[in-house]
Amino acid sequence: MRGIKVSPGIAIGQAYLLQKELKIEKTTAKDPKNELARLDKAISESEVQLKRVRERVAKETGEGAATIFDAHIMMLNDPEFIPEIQSHIKDEGVTAEYAVQETVNKYQGIFSDMQNEYLKERADDVKDVGNRVVSNLRGQIHDLSELPSGTILIASELSPSDTAQMDKSRIEAFLTDQGGKTSHTAIIARTLEIPAIVGMGNVTSQIKDGDMVIVDANQGEAFVNPDNDLLNDYMKKREDYNNFRRRLKSLNTLPAVTSDGRKVELESNIGKPKDVDAALANGAEGVGLYRTEFLYMDRNNLPTEEVQFEAYKKAVTSMGSRRVTIRTLDIGGDKEIAYLGLDKELNPFLGWRAIRFCLDNPDIFKTQLRAILRASAYGKVSIMYPMISDVNEVRRANKYLDEAKNELMQQGIPYDLDIEVGIMVEIPSAALTADILAKEVDFFSIGTNDLAQYTLAVDRGNQRVKSYYNYFQPGVLRLIKNCIKEAHKNGIYTAMCGEMAGDPEATKILLGLGLDVFSMSASSIPLVKDVIRNTTIEEAKKAAEKALAYK
């Protein structure tokens, strides 16, 4: 089976199929009293599991991300939800599994029909709790942290709450029906350094629990129940690949310098403070993108200034003297936050998102800016605004930044007076007016995921048009070239934090275009560094010229 290779590596293990849907036939129970006892036991097990998951997520990610599990625990003690399941068993004589499914379906329907977007999203919470109880009734594993070692996880898709529970030491690889190269699932796979293939179409219908699976995420291929010859072949390939990765790890302490002496910076993209560990382990020279939206997701309310400050401070202090570039809230598009109650939009990627949302919600925006500024007193911090389309947005954002600075100064709270401010270039209008924007900021960071999407008119999450998504297209490359050229003319640097920066096939081209800073998933750093250290600038320029002139 084939799909989109999003996180490299070779893995061999047993399949675990993550079932997300309740599909239970109506069955009469032999002993309703026994079913009630089974239900009580499954609910108790579910509560213990949820408390354990909540504790681990709070420790690793912070209290904000853990609050979603509080809602799940409350549901297991709800005075209407649980008694209704029990009533189905007593009155209809059905199995506990079927009673859970019927009750979940009812409450899902109630929430789904509500006008309030936040309450609508609670339908997913009901489903998740129901799935957990049914899993325990069936003696199945629901927590991804409790999977046996050597697991190949098979799923239709993986949510942020799924990945929050993953234990990297247990999951060898994962395969999904949905997703693309720039999807959140793909980004998380690279962050966790787990081999992954996404967009496989129907992998969940072709692989069963317990099947032996080979995942070749270097080629985007998976094999089910291989014969001995193929299995032995891949055991050797896995050993060779792991030796190759170990060789690359030996480059961690070496600089990213071309063979003829040009130095560039390799930085890491992170979503949570704990991601700094992987960044440093892979030789990152800084954080080129701190995705702060993860602080706002998977919780039931806005994170306070203090919650944000502690998270930013932890990342900044962990990086020591290295730069940490913090992107302001980038929601919308494929990143929804239920409790904000945002209206559904026909074209969310072209809608009220990122800097547009922040400029229209100055209280939310300034709370974040204050937290970032406070963290800047503990290390080298840069602020980055996402989805800038023209210079007036930069000026409006800076106005709120100045207000935040003045408030802190009046309160006697320290911050870096010389903090750098930059923008993400991910809209063609910004790339085409780079000469104007460069006079207002300290740096550019090119977000190729959206820049390619907007330039090529391709929804990168749409499986039907995914073949049209290509950041090597000359139109995209010319926009990148213009950004770098105008930045250098105005004495500022250009970084790239889109997935193209971590693609070793793009490294020579980007070097040839003059990119100063490459920021990527931590696991991509050694391979990109290897390419850089074995390339001359002359070779890189020729590669860039060839790509720009491609016909």
Residues taking part in catalysis: 184, 497
Q: Which residues neighbour 483 within 8 Å (Cβ) at sequence distance 6 or greater? A: 425, 431, 434, 444, 446, 494
Instruction: Say if residues 295 and 307 touch (Cβ distance below 8 Å).
Output: yes
Q: Which residues neighbour 108 within 8 Å (Cβ) at sequence distance 6 or greater? A: 123, 126, 127
Helices (H), 423-473: 428-432, 434-437, 448-456
- With 0-12 / 13-18 / 19 or more C-beta atoms within 10 angstroms meaning exposed / middle / buried, residue 456 is middle
Helix (H) or strand (E) segment spanning residue 106: helix 96-112
CA dist., res. 40 & res. 405, Å (int): 55
Query: Dihedral sign, CA of 402, 350, 504, 243?
Result: positive
Residue type, 280: L
Query: Dihedral sign, CA of 465, 471, 476, 479?
Result: positive
CA dist., res. 300 & res. 284, Å (int): 33
Q: Which residues neighbour 444 within 8 Å (Cβ) at sequence distance 6 or greater? A: 422, 423, 424, 425, 434, 437, 438, 483, 484, 487, 492, 493, 494, 495
CA dist., res. 518 & res. 425, Å (int): 14
Cα angle vertex 304, ends 413, 293, to 5°?
Answer: 110
First-residue to last-residue Cα distance in the chain: 32
Q: Specify the 3-state DSSP secondary structure of 428.
A: helix
Cα angle vertex 342, ends 336, 345, to 5°?
Answer: 85
CA dist., res. 429 & res. 459, Å (int): 18
